[in-house]
Chains A and B, each alone.
Chain A
């Protein structure tokens, strides 16, 4: 695969092994400008400008051939996305601001063999969340209990969305304001409607 500056990158196999250790480079013998922690560092001497089209993609070292590990899709993205230059931008690392905190929670569906994960921060409302869950588990119907309208039915089994909160209790989704829900939700479970007896959410 080619990087944006036209240099041939070493092949990576399907499992994503990188061949850094055995790669032939153009660097001077003994000159090692890569930090061992693998953090990308840009060479000086305007080496940066050579890779500016690629710039700030993952793990660039400009004293060697562009050895980016971005795949072709990433390379097509805006050059300045996913900057990996150590220490840039100059923002204090531990100061958690903005969208850096994401809230991934597991989603379990009764009867499904595996779980999924969703980032609650990417939604702004219960409606968005439930729509997304429906897409994810497309063969099931999720019961939207408080307007009692069924969504597209595929196999006739209804599910009630519940969640486990900070205290470890299983709650029905939708009672508290969205933001409060995001804060306190630890994981989601789509419970079979027939099991949700006594929660006031039985199929009517």
Chain B
């Protein structure tokens, strides 16, 4: 026996099954990773008992190695493109393909049951293969994906006999009409969650009604724009047990029969805690919802362009238990004041711009934010698009709410200073990071100098993700962050004067992070090449959309877009022509 210490011998006295049972209670990925590092025996037990795996970057490991490492895999989360792909900064065809993963897992007979994807390219072929390769497949969640059509969905519907969840969030789906819904066989009665709100095309309404009728466990239903009001009413009658509802088109005439029936139907839906949709909306019909408002914990009106501020506030006043609110900026500062007085349980607020390209029209300012911070002490997550912000307001917000975990502020004019003092917003953001010791995610905007990064490096000790645009004066800014933020995992920078000195100062830092994105900065090709040479565990990708070949550029040229990430498997083989792997 080579276990020398008495303690270790005691642990190994327990058969593997007992240890496995103990490990079952350890669910967080971080903890399970730690468990596997304790000793060889724990590594082995953990390896075979691990069912859920999260890969924040699909290129950090290969499908084959994943399967070898965790042969008992049942639930996989994969993320593909970098976050800035959401804002058109990453060209199509960059990568993030699902197919190789399905192919490999199918071949190895992995018993996959759940798949969650974000920013991946998902082809119909891969969906079809998925539907045929995993007999126990239960849950498919696609977020911000693209590359598939409703034909792929038809394959999932037809072949996944035990499907519980089909959740499509904000995907680009080519719509080949509504037949996919009819592909759910009559024997399929297991649906718990169905979300097709992002589909643009028509839906077979009769099929939808039949499907809902034979799904007694259905808890979450989010419809698309093509589902009219009277179908919604009929669906509610069949599914009064719903917990989460996304309406499709919410347009009707309050004097109509359908509307009266809807009002009656919604009264019995007293389990609804989450409400969204309103992709088309008739303001006069909103009062029908008031009866369920008092139980709502999540309300998403960010697509309800037809609602004015007074209609929004009338509704929100009924939502006393609201924890999460997503809304358009037409609610205005006054409307946010109503939120502040009515929603004392509010934890998360997202205010989206109704007119993103006309900053002068943005209806919310720093005042709205200050009101919410004063009225909602539990606020911990913010996404706020506004036309202006002041240091004084941010300092007040920091005093009122010390619990922020996520703080994303987007001033629509990207380098706008404090309009009252004409100063940069360094002090305001500095107050936020100083006060919110648990801050994990931060997005900056407005006029900012190196000073804000000094504060971030000094105080944001728990920060994991930082998004920077049009900010800073010199390399010092980036260095403050890299040196000070020990927990940093994702750093994304665009249009900042950070260059080679900052990039190369601490190359080892990038192995402690998931990824770094820098576009339109001062980084040169030569520096990227050096980094690639010194750090074999990093992939450095240059995205070059001009029609230049690598040999035309010299090392002093600035790169347009650089994306680097740690990886165990070296260069990926599916990179398109415009991506150079250094």
Query: Which residues of A line the B interface, CB within 8 A?
Result: 30-37, 39, 41-46, 48-49, 52, 55-56, 78, 80-101, 176-177, 179-180, 183
B513 on the A face (CB < 8 A): no
A-B contact pairs, 11 of them (CB 8 A): A35-B545, A43-B520, A80-B416, A87-B88, A89-B412, A90-B443, A91-B353, A93-B88, A97-B328, A177-B282, A179-B306
Cβ–Cβ contact A83 & B87, under 8 A? no
Given A32-B546, A89-B353, A99-B355, verify A56-B413 contact (CB < 8 Å): yes
Q: Which of A31, A96, A177 contacts B253 (CB 8 A)?
A: A177
Cα-based distance from A94 to B89 in the complex (angstroms):
14
Which chain B residues border A93 with CB–CB below 8 Å?
Answer: 86-88
**Residues of A close to B414: CB separation below 8 A:** 85, 88-89
Number of interface residues of B (CB under 8 A): 59
Q: Which residues of B contact A180 (CB under 8 A)?
A: 251-253, 282
CA distance A43 to B252 in the complex (A): 49
Query: Does B144 have its Cβ within 8 Å of any Cβ on chain A?
Result: yes
Q: Which residue of chain B is the closest to A91 with respect to CB atoms?
A: B356
Q: List the one stretch of B70-78, B126-134, B552-560 in contact with chain A.
A: B552-560
The chain A residue sitting closest to B413, CB to CB, is A80
- What DSSP secondary structure best describes chain A's contact surface? loop
Stretch binding the partner chain, chosen from B46-54, B316-324, B493-501: B493-501
Q: Are the C-beta atoms of B89 and A86 separated by less than 8 Å?
A: yes
- Interfacial chain A residues near B360, Cβ < 8 Å: 78, 80-81
Q: What B residues does A85 contact at CB under 8 A?
A: 414
Complex CA gap A127/B385 in Å reads 34
Which residues of chain B from 143 to 190 have a CB within 8 Å of any chain A CB?
Answer: 144, 170, 172
Specify the chain B residue showing the minimal Cβ separation from A79. Answer: B413
**Contact between chains at B410 and A82 (CB < 8 Å):** no
B582 at the interface (CB under 8 A from A): no
Indicate if the CB atoms of A99 and B282 lie closer than 8 Å.
no
Q: Who on chain B is nearest to A46 by CB?
A: B497
Among all A-B residue pairs, the 5 with the closest Cβ atoms: A98-B354, A87-B87, A80-B359, A80-B413, A87-B89
Interface string of B381-417 (1 = CB under 8 A from A): 0000100000000000000000000000010111110
Q: Hey, which chain B residues are within 8 Å of A35, CB to CB? A: 545-546, 560
Query: Which listed residue, A42, A52, A98, touches B355 by the CB 8 Å rule?
Result: A98
**Given A42-B495, A81-B358, A81-B359, CB of A33 within 8 Å of CB of B282:** no
B284 near A177: Cβ-Cβ < 8 Å: yes
CB-CB under 8 A from B521, the residues of chain A are 44
Among B359, B443, B521, residue most surrounded by chain A Cβ atoms (within 10 Å) = B359
List A contacts of B333 (CB < 8 A). none
Query: Are A49's CB and B385's CB within 8 A?
Result: no
B573 in the interface, Cβ–Cβ < 8 Å? no
A98 contact from B330, B412, B494, Cβ within 8 A = B330
B437 vs chain A, min Cβ distance (A): 26
B170 and A99 within 8 A (CB): no
Q: Of B253, B494, B521, which is in contact with the most chain A CB atoms at under 10 Å from its CB?
A: B494
A56, A81, A89, A92 — which one has the most chain B CB atoms within 10 A of its CB?
Answer: A89
A98 and B495 within 8 A (CB): no
B303 within 8 A of A: yes
Q: Residue A92 contacts which of B170, B355, B495 (CB distance < 8 angstroms)?
A: B170
B415 in contact with A44 (CB, 8 Å): no
